[in-house]
Structure 1
Amino acid sequence: MSTARNIVLFDLFGVIARHQRPGALEEMAARCHVPTDVLTAAYWDCRPPYDAGRQSASEYWTAVSRRLSLSVDADTIEELRLTDIDSWSRVDDRMVAYVQSLRDVAEVALLSNIPSDHADAFLAAQPWLRHLDHVAFSGKIKVAKPDPAAFRHCVVAMRAAPTDFLFVDDREENVRAARATGMNGYVFTGRDELAAAIDTWLPQRQPTRNDTLLETDPA
């Protein structure tokens, strides 16, 4: 049963923040002296434990290096780590302003897949995040989307019911996972479309209603 709260739970990258900076993987591949496609495959294949807080940055880049059959020293690992963090540092200022404005009419929270050291850097660069009602970074809570435990963390941490949440993500698989836990879900395609959907969702909220308004992906 709903607790009659309106909580908009945002993904970060692809919604509020930009996806990885173009050319970043090419830079990292050049530093490792390997083709970009080879580095890219190792970069993503080794990523899940790092995102979920089960590996440090050093352990992650060591795993990538082993996948590439490279011997990489500590200085190179640090260079790669910093390049990686920088590549995920851009935000959409229009979305940042919109998210902040929503706090006048709803609780606003964040659930992002991001390694712990990346999260620290992002918080330092984007202090407005500290003013949200809850911020959950996968590297800090030790679980990443689409694992249901990531969504349950937010429910428990905010002392809410799943039906109180509207989860917004640009990845359909994550939205499906949120819905499976009882949350409402919306696949993000743009700020204007999202604003219209939220403007519709908020007035529809009732204390005893199990919302199904946004259970169909936008066309």
Structure 2
Amino acid sequence: MTQTQHDAGWYLFDYGMVIAAAPAAGDWDRLEQTAGRELRAPGSTYWAHRHSFDAGALDSPSYWSAVLERPVEPAEAENLDRLDTALWSQPDPRTREVLRSLESRGASMAVLSNMPARMSQIFEAEGWWTGYFEHLIFSGPLRLAKPDPRIYEHALATMGAEASDVVFIDDKRENIDAAAALGLETVHYTADTDLAAELGL
């Protein structure tokens, strides 16, 4: 859906596969070497437990214990969390340009991301991208995850915005559909999306 910058009160961005690009092979290699198993395939234990981790139902040691199928102590979990954060740290250059353009126009921007609590803490302290945004809303600390309608309602309350005043950008169709059902304008971000054009920049 095309939306001009002047029509939107807020731009609400997903993080992974929108602000961040797909993980680089070398970052997967480093995580898998440390974990001692293959993780990147869609059916791996990394993905099987990921939504529960994102939603705060699992803490880091519990998640990595499930992924590695053996007990993981907090120090090892912290190392794996750091490697996992690095995995999702490659910027999408197209989105980066859009963020710069919106910032130059004084646009109001926020992030709504499914992200484990520890990863969100690392990014809040060290992320290159956090300064673009007025609000950073992460699923792990809230123990709510997209597409649960309650996390969108929380985001709207945090921004002090009406749904119709928000453009939400996400790569997952189920998250887009949930946002649209609440009345948010949406952009489904894919490899073929010209985000600047979609936002009228």
TM-score range for the pair, normalised by the shorter chain length: 0.7 to 0.9
Is the aligned partner of 1:160 residue 2:161? yes
Q: Which AA in structure 2 matches 1:85?
A: T
Q: Which deviates the most, 143-152 or 34-43?
A: 34-43
Letter aligned with residue 59 of structure 1:
S
Partner of 2:102: 102
TM-score by length of 2: 0.81
User: Are 1:111 and 1:135, in contact at CA under 8 Å, matched by a contact in 2?
Assistant: yes
45-54 or 171-180, which deviates more: 45-54
Distance 1:29 1:192 in 2: 31
SS of residue paired to 1:110: strand
Alpha-carbon distance change, 34 to 195 in structure 1, aligned in 2, over 3 angstroms: closer
What are structure 2's unaligned runs of at least 5 residues? 1-6
Corresponding residue of 1:197: 198
1:139 aligns with 2:140: yes
- In percent, how many aligned pairs have the same letter? 32
Q: 1:148 maps to what in 2?
A: 149
CA contact (8 A) 2:8 2:167 kept: no
Cα offset for 1:100? Answer: 3.2
SS in structure 1 at match of 2:44: helix
Please tell me the residue identity of whatever aligns with 1:121. Answer: I
1:42 aligns with 2:45: yes
The structure with more radius of gyration? 1
> Aligned in 2, Cα 1:147/1:62: closer, same or farther, shift over 3 Å?
same
Equivalenced residue count is 194
Q: Distance in 2 between matches of 1:77 and 1:41?
A: 18
1:122 maps to: 123
Q: 1:94 to 1:7 in 2, by over 3 A?
A: same
1:123 touches 1:130 (CA, 8 Å); kept in 2? no
> Once superposed, what is the RMSD of the aligned Cα atoms?
2.8
Where structure 1 has 5 or more consecutive residues not aligned to the other structure, the ranges are 201-219
TM-score where L is the length of structure 1: 0.75
Gap change, CA 1:61 and 1:9, over 3 Å in 2:
same
